[in-house]
Structure 1
Amino acid sequence: MAKTLYLFASGRLGRKDNTLCVELEEGTKYYPVETVGDIYILGEVDINKKCLEFLSQKEILLHFFDYYGYYVGSFYPREHYNSGYMILRQAEHYLDGEKRLWLARQFVLGAVSNIRQVLRYYHKRGKNLQEIIDAIEPLEAKVPSCGSIEELMAIEGNIREYYYKAFNYILNDTSFHFEGRTKQPPQSPLNALISFGNSLTYTKILGEIYKTHLDPRIGYLHSTNFRRFTLNLDIAEIFKPILADRVIFSLVGKKMITAKDFEYRGGAVLLKESGRKTFVQEFEEKLQTTIMHRALKRKVSYQTIMRMELYKLEKHLMGEKLYQPFVSLW
């Protein structure tokens, strides 16, 4: 199975025959192209046109992160599975207000259901989260009756405010106290972790969309506009609580990432290379964790479940089966 290649240090990425060549200060490493699924560039890495053509030919996506560890964009090769029919179905469900709103509600319901599952999981393990769970449930009950995308996103935003407050109870670590969500750049260690974890989730789903007939530029909860990709943001809402957030709780809870893994630049807080490496290792392990799938009656990985979520969306768009979001049962 092809794996993700993470490049943290500065250097050069190139092609050597049928192999990817990474030139770093400590030496040169070679990676058979068949073993690479996608590439994450988190350092100052030079790359030339010849290499980009090679990656496009091999259908390998490149994801770029800035100095703060914030996602800035992707090299998305020409789609191999492009489908005019599917693009028309996606556009139809976007332009029809009722169809778009129905799908957007499903993404929010999936996100909130998984948020609730995370809260219940930690509540059962001694974290006093009942007050927050009780505050979220009436907001969740309003989702099916939302009459607009704006109303839906407002409710989803209110739910996440309560959810983020629960981080203080779950983590119980003064170094990772949550006082408010800040982005671009994050202004606290916990915000830096949340932003990094969310970005990994967005890009992983983007990579899975590339392997389907779906066009990532047409989203439903997140408006389709001149922004490059939005569908991956929609699907990510479902998976962020059970992937990115659970990884954060594990890393901080086990002291695998501590205050020493961050540096402060002006008002920005940066996750150091050591912290990023630890995070991606735990994140990749989480993606490959297998759980029993109710419908298939066999164990599948979270990464496989991501792809299956996209197949379910395709069937909905084609009118074969109504889309229902994945909800974790643990």
Structure 2
Amino acid sequence: MSPRSCSKLPWLVVSGYGAHIKSTPRLLIVQKNGTTTEYPIGDVHHLLVVGGHTIHSAVLQHMQNAGNWVSFFAADGTPVGLIRPPEDRVDEQVRAIQRHAPAHSYALGITRAALGRRLQVIGETTVVTGESPLYQGELEVLQDARQELEYLVTLDEIRRLHRLATDMYYEIMARTIPKGTGFRRRTARPYMDPVNTMLSFSYGILSGVCAVHLAGAHLDANIGLLHQGERALVRDLTELFKPQMVDQPIFALVRQGITASDYEIGESRCTLSDALIRRMLLHLQTSIEVTAIGRQVEMLADALIRNREFQILDPAEFLPRIPLKNH
């Protein structure tokens, strides 16, 4: 098969397993699944290798000569190594910018968008199931919360409203799920029902994708805007994608039917079967739009580094392409 040229973001993610990565002084060459793709080395400012692949030592030499970065991650997005050009401290510069960013405006934008997307999922689920899961007055409460955001002054107020609206969303969506699953709301670990376990597994995959792209943009995953603590920025970013990329397809899968053979509830936690995990992965491979996540990270980095308005993608650009109707 003849090689093709491709260049999108200023960073390149090679994920999964089995890729063969090599280079010339001018080209980065990735061979995977019978396809060879060539990238001008000058356009790949950051190569991110996720999972198990073969990489020629010449790739590291040519990337360094071009002043580019190479990062290595485990399959789940956990960082395991970094090679950067000598004297290049762009990550430290970006980290300083993150620490001094006006977190209030970013947190406001993330919370507003996340709430809007969750309202959209509730509405679309009502259409699919033919029955509204909302109790009287709940829609008004969520809509009022969205309007109230504009008047919140402190980050603590924004975080509190975000938690309340998110908790309410899960309780509403639980009413669309068969009662036999035991899912009533989003809970903390350890998970004792299959739906919370499925969500946690899926959120982990989404978080890994987000973490890798944040690293590609040299953003520090631990410096959040809405959230605080370890991997706070990853949690910020996943809030924008959980409703459409994970919740919608996973809730649809559960409504289509899971059986007692799909999971086991032990004394300390619920365990998913390999068969159910494979079904989930088939859905998530389609619904988790990696390109959209990369674009959103690029928009976030652009806003932070160049002090521009933070733009958030329209969900229409990454709506799930799997069937959401009940069977």
CA distance in 1: counterparts of 2:113 and 2:79, whole angstroms = 29
CA, structure 1 residues 165+276, in 2 after alignment: closer, same or farther (shift >3 Å)?
same
User: TM-score by structure 1 length?
Assistant: 0.70
The one-letter code matched in structure 2 to 1:155 is: L
Say whether residues 1:38 and 2:50 are aligned partners: yes
Question: 1:264 aligns to what?
Answer: 265
Q: Which has the larger radius of gyration?
A: 2
Aligned residues: 269
Deviation at 1:60, TM superposition (A): 4.2
List aligned pairs for 1:219-230, cutoff 5 A.
219-223=224-228, 225=229, 227=230, 229-230=231-232
Aligned partners of 2:94 and 2:219 also within 8 Å: no
Question: 2:63 aligns to what?
Answer: none
Percent of aligned pairs sharing the same letter: 18
CA, structure 1 residues 316+79, in 2 after alignment: closer, same or farther (shift >3 Å)?
farther
User: TM-score by structure 2 length?
Assistant: 0.71
SS at match of 1:318: helix
The one-letter code matched in structure 1 to 2:235 is: L
List aligned pairs for 1:26-105, cutoff 5 A.
34-35=31-32, 38-39=50-51, 59-63=71-75, 74-78=78-82, 84-85=89-90, 87-95=92-100, 99-105=102-108
CA, structure 1 residues 277+60, in 2 after alignment: closer, same or farther (shift >3 Å)?
farther
Query: Which segments of 5 or more consecutive residues in structure 1 lack a partner in the other structure?
Result: 6-14, 20-32, 41-50, 65-72, 288-301
Deviation at 1:110, TM superposition (A): 1.6
Q: Residues 93-128 of structure 1, C-alpha deviation per residue, up to 9 Å, x if partnerless?
A: 4335xx011111111112111111111112233231
List aligned pairs for 1:137-148, cutoff 5 A.
137-148=143-154
List aligned pairs for 1:1-330, cutoff 5 A.
2-5=14-17, 34-35=31-32, 38-39=50-51, 59-63=71-75, 74-78=78-82, 84-85=89-90, 87-95=92-100, 99-125=102-128, 126-131=130-135, 132-171=138-177, 173-223=178-228, 225=229, 227=230, 229-255=231-257, 257-287=258-288, 302-319=289-306, 321-329=308-316
Aligned partners of 2:122 and 2:173 also within 8 Å: no
Deviation at 1:151, TM superposition (A): 1.7
CA distance in 1: counterparts of 2:116 and 2:227, whole angstroms = 19
Deviation at 1:244, TM superposition (A): 1.1
Q: Residues 214-242 of structure 1, C-alpha deviation per residue, up to 9 Å, x if partnerless?
A: 2323221122x5x3x22111100110111
SS at match of 1:263: strand
Give the superposed CA RMSD.
3.4
CA, structure 1 residues 144+268, in 2 after alignment: closer, same or farther (shift >3 Å)?
same
SS at match of 1:241: helix
Deviation at 1:182, TM superposition (A): 2.1
CA, structure 1 residues 259+148, in 2 after alignment: closer, same or farther (shift >3 Å)?
farther
The one-letter code matched in structure 2 to 1:127 is: E
CA distance in 2: counterparts of 1:276 and 1:59, whole angstroms = 28
Deviation at 1:59, TM superposition (A): 4.2
CA distance in 2: counterparts of 1:177 and 1:168, whole angstroms = 9
CA, structure 1 residues 86+110, in 2 after alignment: closer, same or farther (shift >3 Å)?
farther
SS at match of 1:127: coil
SS at match of 1:114: helix
SS at match of 2:74: strand
Question: 1:296 aligns to what?
Answer: none
Query: Which segments of 5 or more consecutive residues in structure 2 lack a partner in the other structure?
Result: 1-12, 22-29, 34-48, 61-69, 320-327
CA distance in 2: counterparts of 1:204 and 1:198, whole angstroms = 10
Deviation at 1:83, TM superposition (A): 6.7
CA distance in 1: counterparts of 2:55 and 2:235, whole angstroms = 25
